[in-house]
Amino acid sequence: MPDLDARHILVHRDGKADAVYREAYPDVALENQGKIKLDFMFVNSARTSVCEPANQSDQQIIATNVVAQNDVVH
């Protein structure tokens, strides 16, 4: 998942994509210094790739009565 792999690059490499990332995710837009372009499309995709699995996990937890529906905060 390019969005989650980008986290390490954003935190530890000041956003500059290395060759491994560029080869694995050629469709990710880069700025002219080779940094990951943090535009709306990228951020929205990252948010979706994190929120969807989290919501699915919440629903499974609610379905098994580990946590009540009204105790889940979104």
Answer whether 39's CB lies under 8 Å from 24's CB.
Answer: no
Kindly tell me the number of DSSP H helices and DSSP E strands found in the chain.
3, 0
Residue span of the structural domain in which 16 resides: 2-65
Tell whether 73 is covered by a domain. no
* Model pTM above 0.75: no
Flag whether 18 is in a domain: yes
- In a domain, residue 57? The reply is yes
SS3 call for 36: strand
Within a domain: residue 74?
Answer: no
In a domain, 28, yes or no: yes
Confidence bin at 74 (pLDDT 50/70/90): low
Encode pLDDT of 7-56 as tens digits. Answer: 889 999 999 999 999 999 999 999 989 999 999 988 998 888 888 888 88
Question: Per the domain annotation, does 10 fall within a domain?
Answer: yes
Token digits of residue 51: 């929120």
Total tally of structural domains belonging to the chain: 1
